[in-house]
Structure 1
């Protein structure tokens, strides 16, 4: 019988390197895939995943074992993505008005976004709360109850958010068909 994620997390929090290594090998790909769904960019998802892995030993000290480890890990990932977005927004505000270099950089970012497939673009157009929700429910195949637990909101709010996602996607599709 293999050791549960929760037991490994508690052991890793106490400094067990083997337990930490096992957790990483079990969940690295999951964290990366979820980070990619949240960010929409491979390089940013790679950076985010590395940041999470580097911070995980310290963060594991706060793992209580009252929730599933994957639920806790999704929450850590969502929080890290939000922190990264806030830092990027702060950096963008600081960089405004830097002339041609900034214009060229922004154009490059826009070109990269345009190269993503339709769904990735549609997810980027969603508000952060809707993007987080759809990444958990559709991308990670969590139930609405599980997604509600990860995000710390009610299951009814998850259902409402998913209906909003559908409305956004329908509107985007209609707009593209009219163009």
Structure 2
């Protein structure tokens, strides 16, 4: 009896909660939905996923069927909309993945740049006289103030300030010399 019932009548019954009517519609149109999904996606695995998503969402969507067009026309629109939504999600995901890729590349470049700067500074520090190395080691990255470093080194705060000025000059000159090569 259900096989002779029109799609539109089955859809109305399914919208009213008739599970048998819904099952009949699904049995009639599953292959059609899959074929359209395959044509829209171009891949069987994506078409299968899309068809399953549509079948899962169809019970709530069928309530919106108003029988203003044939059921198959309405169903095709549901499939096309689902495919467009899937493409948008994939595009957003791809953009987000690329964005994270860019962020990760920038982060790695920054880490690399920092590592290179630290390596250069360590090499440059080894080229300084020992008293300047000690002063720089204590004051580097604001570890200690000039007054605190002076106390540790047993010199005046003015001496630490002078040494820091001398260190900056020497490092600048070393960097210029390296860049000129």
1:13-162 mapped onto 2 (5 Å cutoff): 13-96=15-98, 98=101
* Gap runs ≥5 in structure 2: 103-181
1:47 and 1:73 map into 2 onto residues whose CA distance is: 17
Whole-Å separation in 2 of the counterparts to 1:15 and 1:57: 9
Q: Distance in 2 between matches of 1:66 and 1:28?
A: 22
TM-score between both structures, scaled by the size of structure 2 = 0.53
Q: Which whole-Å CA distance do the structure 2 matches of 1:14 and 1:44 have between them?
A: 31
Larger Rg: 2
CA shift, 1:73, in A, is 0.3
Report the CA distance between 1:66 and its aligned residue: 1.4
SS at match of 1:98: helix
Q: Aligned partners of 1:7 and 1:98: how far apart in 2?
A: 51
Q: In the aligned structure 2, how far is the partner of 1:48 from the partner of 1:80?
A: 7
Deviation at 1:71, TM superposition (A): 0.2
Deviations, residues 19-40 of structure 1 (Å, cap 9, x unaligned): 0000000000000000000000
SS of the equivalent of 1:57 reads helix
The CA RMSD over aligned residues, in Å, is 1.2
- Return the structure number with greater relative CO, CA threshold 8 A, min gap 6: 1
- Structure 1 unmatched runs, 5+: 100-179
**Greater helix fraction, Structure 1 or Structure 2:** 2
User: How far is 1:98 from its partner?
Assistant: 3.2
